[in-house]
């Protein structure tokens, strides 16, 4: 169904455990119908973890979801964001305006700040990277024009009151949650771990259905960082994951393993594609990796992901750049 005929969900709230609620918030994105915020009881209010995307009417969905749990925005004592993507951080300014709470978030959020401060510059950079990666000028111009009309999903840029770095503790009625820095999906990504109850608020680091996305161009090796972050999550031995999208899930170790397996499989496919077809552009690797070429819908996801695999393989010495324009890759 197209987005115009698809019936939009409403915000919905449900209790997961005593003192812990899932707030399910609709998203306007095809294939990603909603995201989760989590409310955790803390004294006379709640700690809110993530807050959904900002668009006209979006705050009413959060309020509706909270109301179903007998909560109101004024109950938010602290807002914690697992990472600075619009579906997790977009409404931060609105929540802060309504509640007067503090915001805690990891300081490596330049990837988000740039899209709010300098959207034209970010688009120009993406255009340049796509061109460099072998995407033909048409359809690139067309895709780029489409991207210009899309809103950022962020109400207003708010800087965190406190840096949510490894080891910081968030106190709640369910006990303290430790911050674990888990970059890869985004440089600013953290998980929150409650060791006594073996709970993990995993953001987009671990999802119920394995789905890989990497922010390209902000750190040296996002795929390598993601794999290290999977090791960190595995060491926590959590029994229940409260993820950024869809339902909670229990077999955390199996999900971590499934992520490792998919990354390994995709790296091997990219390595094989370069060995067989190199010198090859990232654009030409895409159909060999996903079974279909880029479209307007997938360009912003699959191209950076492919570039991140090529970068990972370059870091481990399996491929190298052949130094042509556009950039082509060969086996090292
Ligand atoms: Zn994300
Ligand atoms: Zn997300």
The whole-number pLDDT of residue 323 equals 83
Q: How far is the CA of 34 from the centre of ligand 2 (A)?
A: 9
SS3 string, the chain, reads: CCCCCCCCCCCEEEEEECCEEEEEEEEEECCEEEEEEEEEEECCEEEEECCCCCCCCHHHHHHHHHHCCCCCHHHEEEEECCCCCHHHHCCHHHHHHHHCCEEEECCCCHHHHHHHHCHHHHHHHHHHHHHHCCCCHHHHHHHHHHHHCCCCCCCCCCCCCEECCCCCEEEECCEEEEEEECCCCCCCCEEEEECCCCEEEEECCCCCCCCCCCCCCCCCCHHHHHHHHHHHHHHHCCCEEEECCCCCECCHHHHHHHHHHHHHHHHHHHHHHHHHHCCECHHHHHHHHHCCCCCHHHHHHHHHHHHHHHHHHHHCCCEEECCCCCCCEEEC
* Parallel, antiparallel or unpaired: strands 32-42 and 45-49: antiparallel
The whole-number pLDDT of residue 297 equals 87
Q: How far is the CA of 244 from the centre of ligand 1 (A)?
A: 8
The whole-number pLDDT of residue 3 equals 45
> What is the Cα–Cα distance from 197 to 281, expressed in whole angstroms?
48
Q: How far is the CA of 220 from the centre of ligand 2 (A)?
A: 22
Cβ-based burial of 276 (10 A; exposed 0-12, middle 13-18, buried ≥19): exposed
The whole-number pLDDT of residue 5 equals 44
The whole-number pLDDT of residue 7 equals 61
Which of 2.60.120, 2.30.280, 1.10.10, 1.20.120 is the CATH number of 118-150+262-331?
Answer: 1.10.10
Walk along the chain (332 residues) in steps of 10 and give the mean pLDDT of each run: 58 98 94 95 98 97 98 98 98 98 97 92 94 96 86 95 97 98 98 98 96 95 98 98 96 97 98 98 98 92 97 98 93 97
Contacts of residue 98, Cβ cutoff 8 Å, sequence gap at least 6: 59, 73, 74, 76
Say which ligand is closest to the CA of 215: 1
> What is the Cα–Cα distance from 49 to 121, expressed in whole angstroms?
30
Q: How far is the CA of 331 from the centre of ligand 2 (A)?
A: 34
Q: How far is the CA of 53 from the centre of ligand 2 (A)?
A: 9
Q: How far is the CA of 190 from the centre of ligand 2 (A)?
A: 13
Say which ligand is closest to the CA of 244: 2
What is the pTM (predicted TM-score) of this model?
A: 0.95
Q: How far is the CA of 52 from the centre of ligand 2 (A)?
A: 9
Whether the CB-CB separation of 158 and 99 falls below 8 Å is answered with no
Q: How far is the CA of 204 from the centre of ligand 1 (A)?
A: 5
Q: How far is the CA of 201 from the centre of ligand 1 (A)?
A: 13
Say which ligand is closest to the CA of 187: 1
* Residue ranges matching CATH 1.10.10 in the chain: 118-150+262-331
* Parallel, antiparallel or unpaired: strands 199-203 and 162-163: unpaired
> What is the Cα–Cα distance from 160 to 102, expressed in whole angstroms?
8
Q: How far is the CA of 32 from the centre of ligand 2 (A)?
A: 9
In this structure, which topology does domain 12-113+155-261 adopt according to CATH? Metallo-beta-lactamase; Chain A (3.60.15)
* Residue ranges matching CATH 3.60.15.10 in the chain: 12-113+155-261
The whole-number pLDDT of residue 149 equals 79
Q: How far is the CA of 320 from the centre of ligand 2 (A)?
A: 32
Say which ligand is closest to the CA of 182: 1
């Amino acid at each position: 169904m197209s987005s115009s005929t698809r019936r939009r969900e409403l915000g919905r709230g449900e209790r997961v455990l005593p003192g812990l609620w899932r707030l399910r918030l609709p998203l306007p994105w095809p294939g990603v119908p909603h995201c989760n915020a989590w409310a955790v009881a803390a004294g006379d209010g709640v700690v809110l973890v993530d807050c959904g995307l900002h668009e006209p009417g979006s705050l009413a969905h959060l309020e509706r979801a909270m109301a179903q749990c007998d909560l109101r925005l004024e109950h938010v004592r602290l807002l914690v964001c697992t990472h600075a993507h619009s579906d997790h951080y977009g409404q931060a300014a609105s929540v802060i305006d309504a509640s007067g709470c503090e915001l805690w978030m990891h300081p490596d959020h330049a990837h988000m700040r740039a899209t709010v401060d300098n959207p034209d510059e970010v688009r120009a950079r993406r255009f340049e990277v796509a061109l460099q990666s072998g995407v033909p000028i048409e359809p690139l111009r067309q895709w780029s024009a489409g991207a210009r009309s899309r809103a950022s999903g962020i109400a207003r840029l708010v800087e965190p009151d406190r840096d949510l770095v490894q080891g910081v503790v968030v106190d709640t009625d369910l006990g303290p949650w430790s911050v674990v820095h888990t970059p890869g999906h985004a440089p600013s990504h953290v998980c929150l771990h409650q060791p006594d109850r073996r709970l993990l608020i995993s953001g987009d680091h671990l999802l119920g259905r394995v789905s890989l996305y990497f922010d390209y161009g902000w750190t040296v090796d996002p795929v390598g960082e993601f794999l290290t972050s999977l090791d960190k999550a595995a060491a926590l031995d959590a029994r229940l994951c409260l993820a950024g999208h869809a339902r909670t899930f229990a077999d955390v170790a199996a999900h971590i393993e499934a992520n490792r397996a998919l990354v390994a499989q995709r790296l091997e496919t990219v390595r094989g594609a370069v060995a067989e077809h190199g010198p090859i552009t990232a654009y030409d690797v895409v159909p060999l990796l996903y079974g279909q070429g880029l479209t307007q819908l997938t360009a912003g996801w699959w191209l950076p992901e492919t570039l991140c695999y090529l970068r990972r393989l370059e870091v481990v010495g399996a491929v190298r750049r052949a130094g042509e324009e556009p950039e082509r890759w060969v086996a090292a």
